[in-house]
Amino acid sequence: GAGVSQSPRYKVTKRGQDVALRCDPISGHVSLYWYRQALGQGPEFLTYFNYEAQQDKSGLPNDRFSAERPEGSISTLTIQRTEQRDSAMYRCASSLWHRGEDTQYFGPGTRLTVL
C-alpha cells in the first residue's frame, strides 16, 4: 500500500514569505507526527496529532509555526514569515495508533530552503 507522502518535496522561498507543507499519512493511521531535521543532525520533534486533535505542540520553535489536521487525515505545517534559520528537512510520520510501541512510518520529507 502507499506510504506516507509529503509535498512539495522541495521548496525554495524568500525570507518573509509564508509556506505550507503537506503530509498525507498512511490510510487509517490515527497518529501523525511532524519533525524537523537540520543537515547532519537527528530529527527534532515538532508536534503530533491523534485524529484531528493536536496533542503536543511543545516542539514548535515559536509562534510562526503552526500545524493542523482538520479532518484527522492530511496535515499541514505552516511557517509564517519564514527566516533563513527555518531552512531544514521537514519530515512527517504516521503510526496506526498512539500507543508508543507502534512503529512510526516516515515520509520522504520536504526540503525547505529560505533565501
| Residues of the shown chain interacting with other proteins in the complex, contacts defined by CB under 8 A | 31, 33, 35, 41-45, 48, 55-56, 58-59, 91, 93, 98-104, 106-109
Tell me the C-alpha distance between 16 and 51, whole Å. 31
Task: Please state the closest distance from residue 28 (CB atom) to other proteins, in A.
Answer: 18
Q: Quote the distance between the C-alpha of residue 3 and its chain's center.
A: 15
Tell me the C-alpha distance between 45 and 8, whole Å. 20
Tell me the C-alpha distance between 56 and 31, whole Å. 12
The C-alpha cell at 112 is 525547505
Task: Please state the closest distance from residue 108 (CB atom) to other proteins, in A.
Answer: 6
Task: Please state the closest distance from residue 80 (CB atom) to other proteins, in A.
Answer: 24
Kindly tell me which of 80 and 106 has the beta carbon lying closer to other proteins.
106
Kindly tell me which of 1 and 42 has the beta carbon lying closer to other proteins.
42
The C-alpha cell at 105 is 512510518
Kindly tell me which of 14 and 99 has the beta carbon lying closer to other proteins.
99
Going by DSSP bridges, is the β-strand pair 110-114/10-13 parallel, antiparallel, or unpaired?
parallel
Kindly tell me which of 35 and 65 has the beta carbon lying closer to other proteins.
35
Task: Please state the closest distance from residue 69 (CB atom) to other proteins, in A.
Answer: 14
